[in-house]
Amino acid sequence: MFRGRELNRDHIVLSARVEVPCLARLVLASKNMNLYCQKAVGTAKQMWMLAGWRKLVSATSACACLLVAFAFAAVSAQAAPVLSPPQLEQLVAPVALYPDSLLSQVLMASTYPLEVVDAARWRGSQPKAMSDSQLSAAMYNEPWDPSVKSLAAFPNVLQMMSDKIDWTQQLGDAFLGQQPDVMDAVQRLRARARAAGNLRTSPQQTVLVSNEGSPIIQIVPVQPDVVYVPIYNPLVVFGPWMYPVYRPFYWHPPTYYPAPGVFFSFGAGLVVGPALWGHVDWHRHDVSINVTRYNTFNNTHITNNRWVYNVNHRRGVDYRGPAAAGRFQRSSAARSAAREQYRGAANMQRQQLADPAHRQAAERAVSREQGRNQIGSNTALRDSQQRSAAVRKQPFNEHTQVRQQRPVSQPRPALRQLSTERPQAPQHRQAAKRHASVERPLGGKKEHRREAPDH
């Protein structure tokens, strides 16, 4: 019995000795596992955060690259010319061989395309043959720019600009944004036409070539007041056209029928007088004005001989060229915003009138306004009646049969003052004595007058 107990105790001790280290190892293993799990979670967090930062850095780098690209494109667009030389030559080819004075006014008027269309329609309704004085008087009240009015003396040119309104607007925008480049393109085309033998002095015009520095070719009418507008095919007169992508158009009057093989001719001479007041300053790449002719034709008194662009005559037409838009679009945008604001207010008023409550309120307001107007008219009528009554109470002049006008507030003059203006009674009696009364007998016969002797 005792021995059995010892065996059991030994077995328990031996079991304890075996189980305690196992438990310790399990506890240690669990601790190590916890540490490993914590390290793994920390590493995962670090990797996730690192991946997020990498994504953020990548997105930021992409945005920075895009911003740099846009900035470079904007700078390149500002630095580079808006239109290339071939594009400019395509625009100016239809008018490059015009006389300098006419060319200057075409360039100025092209900056106001909407007024060009209005002037062309007006000119089509007028007699074809009109002198400069008749045109000046007929267009005196028209709200167009003087450069547009001056082209009324050239009906065919004005009609061409109206028919090719897209070209007119592009030419005007190029002239506003790249004025020196436009004039250089004209000189290049004139040099080619002269080299091809199609630009030379004739009875209609004089071609002047200056040899100072870069050659400058001027085209001047033989008679300053008589202008012959050339009609030519731009694809031929300048030699073989070098830019197939940028081909100019060929326009001629509807009644013009060129002979076969004729690519350059002149229309009928136009006596324009002071209607032609523009001039091109090729050295300064500018447009000048003959002040005397300008004032005579436009009935003005200007003193500045330099042309100044007037944005008010643009009438809200947008600028297609970036160079011109950057300089003049701000005022156009302000006008557009004002129009949109007005339209928004008008739409809001329409919506309010569509609402029955607002409509009734508006009708009550109109009724009140009409009532106030009726009261004002009644007051005015009453005042008029009072003034008429006051006039009837004024003194009456017996000799002139005219009622004396005197203010109501003025007191009636004294009798002694009126006595100096009225004839004396004895004078009346003497005048009555000098005339005899006319007596008519019963038979109807007249008797001779007798004058009563003065006593």
Distance CA 267, CA 285 (A): 28
3-state secondary structure the chain: CHHHHHHHHHHHHHHHHHHHHHHHHHHHHHHHHHHHHHHHHHHHHHHHHHHHHHHHHHHHHHHHHHHHHHHHHHHHHHHCCCCCHHHHHHHHHHHCCCCHHHHHHHHHHCCCHHHHHHHHHHHHCCCCCCCHHHHHHHCCCCCCCHHHHHHHHCHHHHHHHHHCHHHHHHHHHHHHHCHHHHHHHHHHHHHHHHHCCCCCCCCCEEEEEECCCCCEEEEEECECCEECCEEECHHHHCCCCCCCCCCCCCCCCCCCCCCCCCCEEECCCEECHHHCCEEEECCCCEEEECHHHHHHHHCCCCCCCECCCCHHHHCCCCCCCHHHHHHHHHHHHHHHHHHHHHHHHHHHHHHHHHCHHHHHHHHHHHHHHHHHHHHHHHHHHHHHHHHHHHHHCCCECCCCCCECCCCCCCCCCCHHHHHCCCCCHHHHHHHHHCCCCCCCCCCCCCCCCCCCCCC
Other beta carbons within 10 Å of 239: 14
305 phi/psi in degrees, rounded to 5: -95, 15
pLDDT over 50 at 420, yes or no: no
Domain boundaries, the chain: 1-80, 85-253+263-317, 323-370
Other beta carbons within 10 Å of 254: 8
pLDDT over 90 at 122, yes or no: yes
pLDDT over 70 at 396, yes or no: no
Q: What's the pLDDT at 12?
A: 44
pLDDT over 50 at 366, yes or no: yes
- Return the higher-pLDDT residue of 258 and 228: 228
Of the pLDDT bands very low, low, confident and very high (cuts 50, 70, 90), residue 63 is: low
217 phi/psi in degrees, rounded to 5: -105, 120
Residue with tokens 């050659």: 215
- Give the lowest-confidence range in 70-84, 166-180, 246-260: 70-84
Q: What's the pLDDT at 436?
A: 46
Average pLDDT, the chain: 74
| pLDDT above 90: percentage of residues in the chain | 35
CA R_g for the chain: 50
Q: What's the pLDDT at 259?
A: 76
Strongest mean pLDDT among 223-232, 335-344, 400-409, 432-441:
223-232
| pLDDT above 70: percentage of residues in the chain | 57
Distance CA 289, CA 296 (A): 12
- Return the higher-pLDDT residue of 315 and 210: 210
- Average pLDDT of the residues in 247-262: 83
Q: What's the pLDDT at 49?
A: 62
- Average pLDDT of the residues in 306-317: 85
- Average pLDDT of the residues in 339-364: 64
The answer to whether 230 and 200 have CB atoms below 8 angstroms apart is: no
